Chain A
Amino acid sequence: MNSLSKPRNWEKYFWPVLAAALLFAIWHYCVVWTGTNIFPSPLDVEKGMAELLHKGVLWDDIEDSVRRVAVGFGAAAVTGIPLGLTLGLYPAANQMVNPVLQILRPISPIAWIPIAIILFGVGDRAAVFLIFLGAFFPIVLACVSGVSSVPSIFQRTGRNFGLSSTQLLARVVFPAALPQILIGLRIALGIAWVVVVAAEMIAVESGLGYLVIDSRNSGKRYDLVIAAMLLIGVIGLILDLGFRSLEGLPSVRWGFRHES
């Protein structure tokens, strides 16, 4: 197949579906061949999934997880974007704060769990705090690098047309940095989704992460564990696709390489 030619429509779906089917087949036969009765086969998982849907708690768990991510990620965006823009605009301030950011950034939010529990107790707020931490740093850093890589030509043009510094920020620097900021937000959202599951396994008693750990603890229901894991994957994918669709907006499209 010529790599320049557009894949035909059926091919776009055929290969991914084939790959997934292969994986399920391998999984199925591994379970059959080894004769394990702990590890569930795809069919068991499918039954488990149906059971979860019937019991009705599943929707509450999904809602709890998504709500925590929305709040934690939202708070990180609302605080991280202004901070990142400011640091990008004032290199002196950035030099002061950057070492602290660089030390805090590599600490996994999971390591913060004990502190989150001391501060907020076991509950929603602890989980939201952890998500906030996970999302905050990538957002700040994306804003800093987005702003500092705005071509000086744009800034000079803005000043040439008589913009004040707030106007320059709103009408030149922010839109010029927006594609990079969006990339940072997308990465942060992915991290937030990873963190919420981990947080829910320890710091709260609801949500998809709790579903995973609870299915194991109360009766070793590995079919439910894997059903929940697959759901986590699918919802994460949906969130990411939703966010990616923002990259197609006309005023940011220029900042992304896109295959047409």
Chain B
Amino acid sequence: MSLTNAANTPAVAAMKLRAEQLCVAFERDSKSVSVLEDITFDISDGEFICIVGRSGCGKSTLLNVLAGFLAPTSGSVIIDGEPVHGPDPRRILVFQEHGVFPWLTVEGNIGFGLSKLPRAEREHRVAHYVQMIGLQGFERTYPSDLSGGMKQRLQVARALAVNPDILYLDEAFGALDSITRLAMRKELLRIWQTERRTIIFVTHDIDEAVQLADRVVVLSSNPARIEDILTIDIRRPRNISSPHYLELRDKLLEQIGQAYTV
């Protein structure tokens, strides 16, 4: 699966992650219910992938498997040629909300994964990410005194600070108002473009997916299979009222099974 988005990604990117025939079944009322079935895809290094699907279809489950928090019932996840056996600081999962540690300051949160570094370097990195997420002046502030958007940025910064190859975001902006979400998307794209990580972003917001992704993985429901993998071949910065944008968005809406009139 090649990328048409030549403006933003290297022409030939190495393969980063491969999901191989992932199946996940949960016990429910002492019956085994299949949630994910035969999920197979490849993700290249530095790619921005969105995963969309209806609520409850298994997006978080898939992300938990990719991040190593949940062992698949069958199949495997291979990252950099090695099978995933558990969580790892090289790939960080960012949760929807309430993920920052309330007992630590902004600095303490960003520096959480950096305890092995020498002090000077840790402080340098913390300062860098404080700057990046625009929380200068809030270094000593506790999360209870931050807004929802600030907390979410903080969670992303804490993840980025440990220099992960892959960032998994599970509806990371879902709890935010639409203005903040828009700002956060721009922010995330800017970070992605400067730091070149692989990002796998789960969302139920179709617009969000079309605005952000190189490719969108569409999941069906009950059990989740891959419905389609759609390449978003729009140059960045994206014009979100161009005909092609609308066309891709409508196609996604259709695939998810929602009409595009209200």
| Residues of chain A at the chain B interface (Cβ within 8 Å) | 151, 153-154, 156-157, 159-162, 171-172, 175-176, 178, 250-255
Contacts and interface: CB of A to CB of B under 8 A. Distances in A.
B113 A156 contact: no
Contacts of B89: 160-162
A250 B142 contact: yes
B93 A254 contact: no
A85 to B, nearest CB: 16
Nearest to A174: B103
B142 A156 contact: no
A213 B89 CA distance: 64
Contacts of A162: 87-89, 113
Given A159-B87, A161-B89, A161-B92, A254 B144 contact: yes
A154 B102 CA distance: 10
Contact of A251 (B95, B99, B104, B113): B104
Contacts of A176: 101, 103
Given A156-B69, A162-B89, A251-B104, 9 more contacts: A159-B86, A160-B67, A160-B69, A160-B87, A162-B87, A162-B113, A250-B142, A251-B142, A253-B142
Determine the main DSSP class of A at the interface with B: helix
Q: Which 4 pairs show the lowest CB-CB distances between chains A and B?
A: A254-B102, A161-B113, A162-B89, A175-B103
A52 to B, nearest CB: 45
Identify whether the interface residues of B are mostly helix, strand, loop, or mixed: loop
Interface in B92-113: 92-93, 95, 98-99, 101-105, 112-113
B143 interface: yes
B162 interface: yes
Contacts of B86: 159
A251 B89 CA distance: 25
A159 B68 CA distance: 11
B104 to A, nearest CB: 7
Interface string B151-180: 000000000001000000000000000000
B103 A252 contact: yes
20 contacts: A151-B98, A153-B99, A156-B93, A157-B95, A159-B87, A160-B69, A160-B87, A160-B93, A161-B92, A161-B112, A161-B162, A162-B88, A162-B89, A171-B112, A175-B104, A250-B105, A250-B142, A252-B103, A254-B143, A255-B102
B87 A154 contact: no
A171 B113 CA distance: 11
Contacts of A252: 103
Contacts of B98: 151, 153
A161 B93 CA distance: 10
Contacts of B113: 161-162
A161 B101 CA distance: 13
A171 B115 CA distance: 11
Contacts of A161: 89, 92, 112-113, 162
A252 to B, nearest CB: 7
Nearest to A160: B87
B93 A172 contact: no
A154 B69 contact: no
A123 B113 CA distance: 52
A47 to B, nearest CB: 50
Interface string B73-98: 00000000000001111001101001
Given A162-B113, A254-B144, A157 B103 contact: no
Interface string B60-77: 000000010100000000
A249 to B, nearest CB: 10
Nearest to A175: B103
A154 B104 CA distance: 12
A254 B105 CA distance: 11
A251 B92 contact: no
A240 B37 CA distance: 58
